Structure 1
Amino acid sequence: MGAMDDYQQWEESLLTTELPRWDQLPKFDLYMDQVVAFINTTLGKLEFEPVTASMINNYVKHKVVLAPVKKKYQSMQIADILVISLLKQNYSLDVIHSGINQVTKRNYPKQAYDHFIEMLEAGIREQQRPEMVGADQLNEKLLEVAVESIITGLKAKKLLKLMEREKA
């Protein structure tokens, strides 16, 4: 099987990607090691760099993620860490933080998170992306560009990996 066949097979496997919606996030608070395991399991199929406890501590230190309460993380913090993990390949922490603030300024975090995930999955499947009813056009464009950058980055990394393997 050639590298292009491998790539097409990988692309097909992406079509089954399902990321958790807000209501599918853990209902109970998680300790750091549980958060790390949840994030890495959730994003494993996408072949992102694994998240570490020190990365999460850095997000908290830079106030991109709220500090845990009694060393436990809640749904909101887990959603933020998932979004950061998806975007950090292409954007700085400051840009991600600013983007999260802009999007959640106009929508509740649950709605904004779910909409982002729905847009990402639609983009992966190359379907028309859903629009949030009554959404601000700039907000929608920001989400659209962010989603496109994630998908393009995933594809570029996979292609480079296959090309390096073929060259070796």
Structure 2
Amino acid sequence: MQEFEKLQEIQLPDIDLYMDQVLTILESQMDSYKLHDDEKVMTKTMINNYVKSKLIGKPVKKKYGKEQLMQLIMIYHMKNVINFADLEVFFQRAIKENQEGMELLYEDFVQIHDNMLDHFISKEKQLSELEGSDKIKELLKIIITADLNKRVAERVLKEMKGEE
């Protein structure tokens, strides 16, 4: 089983990138998170939709900056948990609350992600050593925890929407 890579290991370029370069970086950097080899981390259509909905900023002269790349990495990790509208609420609120901007938000995201990842890697190893009903029970705990965490996140985001 391939181990997840820590986000702090990702080197974000300081130069602006064309769409194909962004996709190449995302594919190479997020490879350890893909469930299937043929899975795409992100597509041109997805990124274009994020731009159209103002979830990320428009490219300048068809080039995407470091902040947009940071947002795309966060979106990749969040899109399976919260819906598109909630992603918009999250980013609007996070940017509004955070005077330091996207870089500090991304630093917080990476730190929290990587700290939690250590716990989940050890959990995954423990689970792989179990068999039978013990494995099923632990898997149920993970699934129920994920469901309840998602519901709490949705409630908090709904509350944030109501405050605006």
Shorter-normalised TM range:
0.5 to 0.7
Take 1:115 and 1:21, find their aligned partners in 2: how far apart are those partners?
14
Partner of 1:124: 117
Aligned-residue offset at 1:79: 0.7
Q: In 1, are the aligned partners of 2:8 and 2:114 still within 8 Å (CA)? A: no
User: Counterpart of 1:103?
Assistant: 94
- Cα RMSD, aligned residues only: 2.6
SS in 2 for 1:126: helix
Q: Show the 5 A alignment for 1:11-160.
A: 13-14=3-4, 17-20=5-8, 24-47=11-34, 49-50=39-40, 51-107=42-98, 108=100, 109-126=102-119, 152=146
Change (3 A) 1:37 1:20: farther
* Letter in structure 2 aligned against 1:38: I
Gapped regions of structure 1 (runs ≥ 5): 1-8, 128-147, 154-168
**Secondary structure of 1:70's partner?**
coil
Alpha-carbon distance, 1:42 to partner: 1.3
Give CA deviations for 1:1-47 in whole Å, capped at 9, x if unaligned.
xxxxxxxx45xx23xx221479x311100000000111111111011
Question: Normalising to structure 2: TM-score of the pair?
Answer: 0.64
Retained in 2: the 8 A contact 1:21–1:113? no
* Inter-partner Cα distance in structure 2 for 1:152 and 1:114: 24
TM-score by length of structure 1 reads 0.63
Listed one character per residue, the Cα deviations across residues 48-80 of structure 1 (whole Å, up to 9, x for unaligned) are: 652111110010111101110000000111111
Unpaired runs of 5+ residues, structure 2, are 121-141, 148-164
**Counterpart of 1:143?**
none
Moved over 3 A (4+): none
Q: CA deviation at 1:152?
A: 4.5
Q: Output the CA distance in 1 between the equivalents of 2:112 and 2:33.
A: 16
Contact 1:66-1:77 at 8 Å conserved across structures: yes
Amino acid at match of 1:34: Q
